Chain A
Amino acid sequence: MSTTKSTLLGAAFVTAAMALPSLQFANAETPPEQGIVSFKYLHYQDSQGIVAQPGSTTSAINTISGASSVASPGTSGGATSGSQDRIGVNAYSVNALVPVAGKWSIGTTYTSDSVSGASPTYHSSGLTTMKDLRRAVDVQLTRYFSRGSVSFGTSYSKETDYISRGFNVQGSLSTEDKNTTLTLGGSFNNDSINPVNQPGVDEKKQVAAGLIGVTRVLTPQDIVQLNFGYSKGNGYYSDPYKVNDNRPRDRSAVTALARWNHHFDDNGTDGTVHLAYRYYSDSFGIRASTFETEYVQPLYKGWTVTPLLRLYTQSEADFYVSAGSAETADPTQPTPPPTDAVYYSEDQRLSAYGAITYGVKVSKQINKDWLVDVKYEQYEQRAQWSLYGNGDKGLTPFKAYSIQVGVSRQF
């Protein structure tokens, strides 16, 4: 395998996730009055605790069979404390939303993200370097009616080894007093996967998803939303860049999301609190709970500050293989899956863990048309923070930080 290819290993499987346009149940009841163009830059860097290496002071950077020279990701701290950089992302997105003839709107987003760094091939070990560039575009057309809206969207994204095409439809209908809104949505995604380390593999993945939601105004200061989602996919779910990874070719998932926004009026701070809880359950055996809160505090002269907190916990997938004692003693040796196992994976993301995010966003409305914002977030995953079963003690803590800088202008 050439050097170029080796540096691409696994890249796409991380990048594909980044910044793909996601459709919020956002279609507002009324068409936008003005056009808006937004730009946002993201810098993201994650890292992990260093895996103890017997007889070595630095952690090993593995490469998949035959890969030649690989760059060593940056490390800091000692051999067993400190941390080791994994993936870094620099991305930018541009979004434009244009009202048309008072009844329509067209929105489009372009995203480019460049990813580089190292990713484990099993558990927290076998780090392999990677680099890739992903480009994605989506278009959304919405028709507004007096009591609702219908929108159609399509998306496309491409990177070295992964192409995704998607279509979606959503509609919303409100009561005459606009206090209750029913929303329905459906989407279909068709992905092609051609791993760079396995030239013969030409795989597909197809996912259909549906969502039903109710949004209800409770008081002049309270609005709540309840969404239920179901998705069913078929195809290639394994990770070709990991060792000992063979996952079911079907995956179905259900989600329940409850959100509540409350405003502290007049006698209060003029701030708004957002609360959200999501329950997730899928056929891989992963159950997850997410609690999110943020508090939007307007200040003087168009300044707004928004601190946020997110708590997450998940159970492990039924076929997750924990790091065994042999691997713990010598991390260069991946734990073999049980001999009778049909499906198995040593992907950290399928283990049981808990995670905490905290962050703050500061924005400034410069004048009627211009808005700028900056957001900083810090994230940490730990096996022992799992509330759904015991985490894998063989994993090191995973951390990340991200910075976003955005600007938008109305026309």
Chain B
Amino acid sequence: MKTMRFHKLKELLLAFSFCMSFSGNVYALEPGNKAPDFNLPGIQGSVQLSKTIGSVVYVDFWASWCGPCRHSFSWMNAMQEKYRSQNLQIIGVNLDAKNEDAKKFLAEIPAKFTVAFDSKGETAKQYGIKGMPTSFLIGRDGKVIYQHLGFKEADKESLEKQIKSALEAKK
């Protein structure tokens, strides 16, 4: 009787872990795929990805309530400054449902890069993001080179390396 119970238990745990591994499955954008185009309202007019062809684009999905996002702003500001001349363009796509939350955040921590607003999260869905923040490095050919989830102090170095090599790559 006891062994049977444990047997059942094992099955249930298996079923559970199976479920755990699948329930979060959403469409994922792979490196080499063409980055889906978007046209979103920005601070100064609309922001359209396809208009940036020829630049290396770093698209960062963020929100005002997300702690690591807050952290990433100074780094993105620095990267935009440093690599502007080499044609790096950083686009921060804000996903706050309430636009005023984003505005409040930007008043406190100004962005020195392009900011676009997607309060419905449609772009985020297209890009299949799984956490906040998520960034995509897009080559001059418009194809995704690299995708990164989260933002930690330790990530800065490898992210900059990726940006550098994308800027140096031939068209």
Q: Residues of A at under 8 Å CB distance from B?
A: 30-31, 33, 101-103, 146, 173, 175-180, 182
Contact = CB atoms under 8 A, between A and B. Distances in A.
Given A33-B71, A177-B130, A103 B150 contact: no
Interface in B7-33: 16, 20-21, 23-26
Given A177-B24, A178-B24, A102 B153 contact: yes
Contacts of A33: 67-68, 71
A146 B154 CA distance: 14
Contacts of B130: 176-178
Contacts of B20: 173, 175, 180, 182
B149 interface: yes
B36 interface: no
A33 B71 CA distance: 9
A30 B150 CA distance: 10
A177 B21 CA distance: 10
A178 B23 contact: no
- Interface of B, secondary structure class, is loop
Interface of B: 16, 20-21, 23-26, 67-68, 71, 130-131, 149-150, 152-154
A179 B24 contact: yes
8 contacts: A30-B67, A30-B68, A31-B152, A173-B20, A176-B21, A176-B130, A177-B24, A178-B130
A146 B24 contact: no
B16 A182 contact: yes
A212 to B, nearest CB: 10
B131 A178 contact: yes
Contacts of A31: 152
A274 B48 CA distance: 43
A177 B26 contact: yes
A182 B20 CA distance: 9
Given A33-B68, A182-B16, A176 B24 contact: yes
Given A102-B153, A102-B154, A103-B154, A180 B68 contact: no
Nearest to B25: A176
A182 B25 CA distance: 17
Contact of B23 (A30, A102, A173, A179): A179
Instruction: State the 5 A-B residue pairs at the shortest beta-carbon distance, nearest first.
Output: A176-B24, A177-B24, A102-B152, A175-B24, A102-B154
A146 B68 CA distance: 14
A222 B44 CA distance: 36
A103 B24 CA distance: 23
Contacts of A175: 20-21, 23-24
Given A176-B23, A179-B24, 19 more contacts: A30-B67, A30-B68, A30-B150, A33-B67, A101-B154, A102-B152, A103-B154, A146-B150, A173-B20, A175-B20, A175-B21, A175-B23, A176-B21, A176-B24, A177-B24, A177-B130, A179-B23, A182-B16, A182-B20
A149 to B, nearest CB: 14
Contacts of A180: 20, 23
Nearest to B70: A33
A30 B70 CA distance: 15
B149 A146 contact: yes
A26 B153 CA distance: 24
A238 B22 CA distance: 50
Contacts of B154: 101-103
B45 to A, nearest CB: 29
B31 to A, nearest CB: 18
